[in-house]
Amino acid sequence: MRSAASAGRRKLASNARGKPLQGSPAGERTPRAGAAGETVIRPARRADLDQVIEIDATVTGLEKRRYWLDVFRRYGGGTDGGRCFLVAVRDRRVLGFVIGEIRDWEFGSPPCGWVFAIDVQPRARLQGIGTMLLEAISDAFRSQGVGTLRTMLARDNTLIMSFFRSQGMMAGPLLMLEMDLHEDRAR
Ligand SMILES: CC(C)(COP(=O)(O)OP(=O)(O)OC[C@H]1O[C@@H](n2cnc3c(N)ncnc32)[C@H](O)[C@@H]1OP(=O)(O)O)[C@@H](O)C(=O)NCCC(=O)NCCS
């Protein structure tokens, strides 16, 4: 019998095979610019940052320029070393982004790819861009020998939950715990 987890992984893999992406996650086959109206997935460039910051500010209500400069410093410039910061671009407009990283033996797990953030500009949603971004980062991780994709999300974020479920992601084997570190916390 096919396990739910392996069915999910298969769906992700077949998504990646089924719909060719216009940009390669490694950036080597990425055209410099897509044809008019074509959506291209490619590694983020410094010149994309203003638009990335704008999308994030639209979605979260906070403009975090210093944070994004730091993210770009750490994750920008390609997918070598397992770090990925990819953007979806159409007609020179950044429509969305995804950020993630391969983490080795974290929490005792074999190396796996983590998605930290994925956002699509509200006006560009439900056109398959989120799917293209997730497929591209999955391809980048897969090409570096990783066979599992993980992420974390807020329990009440039903939109992102619906999206990840549609991509074949399911509850994983890890459980997140947290505690309050304020000194006046009641014990
Ligand atoms: C989640 C998100 C990335 C999806 O991007 P998108 O480009 O609209 O996604 P796609 O068009 O590829 O949709 C793929 C599937 O996701 C699901 N989905 C997407 N939006 C949905 C919605 N509003 N309601 C229900 N399901 C939805 C659907 O199953 C959809 O497939 P379908 O169109 O065949 O029904 C985008 O809505 C977004 O940026 N949301 C805010 C993200 C966020 O909260 N980020 C912070 C945490 S990292």
What local confidence, expressed as pLDDT, does residue 187 receive? Answer: 57
Task: Pick the range with the lowest mean pLDDT from 4-13, 58-67, 81-90, 173-182.
Answer: 4-13
Domain of 134, CATH number, reads 3.40.630.30
pLDDT for residue 21 is more than 50: no
Does 176 map to a domain? no
Ligand 1 atom with least separation from CA of 163: 16
pLDDT tens per residue, range 123-175: 999 999 999 999 999 999 999 999 999 999 999 999 999 999 999 999 999 99
Does 65 map to a domain? yes
Complete DSSP assignment for 114-179: EEEEEEE-GGGTTSSHHHHHHHHHHHHHHHTT---EEE---TT-HHHHHHHHHTT----S------
Does 141 map to a domain? yes
Rounded Cα–Cα distance for residues 108 and 22 (Å): 36
User: Which has the closest alpha carbon to 148: 172, 167, 119?
Assistant: 172
What local confidence, expressed as pLDDT, does residue 53 receive? Answer: 97
What local confidence, expressed as pLDDT, does residue 17 receive? Answer: 31
Does 135 map to a domain? yes
Does 112 map to a domain? yes
pLDDT for residue 30 is more than 60: no
> What's the predicted TM-score (pTM) here?
0.85
User: With bands split at pLDDT 50, 70 and 90, how would you rate the model's confidence at 79?
Assistant: confident
Query: Does the beta carbon of 117 lie inside 6 Å of ligand 1?
Result: yes
φ, ψ of residue 49 to 5 degrees: the values are -60, -40
Does 15 map to a domain? yes
pLDDT tens per residue, range 43-78: 999 999 999 999 999 988 999 999 999 999 999 877
Report whether 83 contacts 119 (CB < 8 A): no
Query: Residue 118 C-alpha to ligand 1 middle, in angstroms?
Result: 10
* CA dihedral of residues 141, 118, 100, 107 (deg, nearest 10): -100
Count: domains in the chain: 1
Does 85 map to a domain? yes
Does 97 map to a domain? yes
Query: Residue 81 C-alpha to ligand 1 middle, in angstroms?
Result: 28
The SS3 of residue 48 is: helix
The SS3 of residue 90 is: strand
Ligand 1 atom with least separation from CA of 153: 47
Average pLDDT (174-181) is 94
Query: Domain residues for 134?
Result: 4-166
What local confidence, expressed as pLDDT, does residue 123 receive? Answer: 95
User: Which has the closest alpha carbon to 74: 48, 44, 119?
Assistant: 44
**Rounded to an integer, what is the distance from CA 44 to the centroid of its chain?**
12
pLDDT for residue 22 is more than 90: no
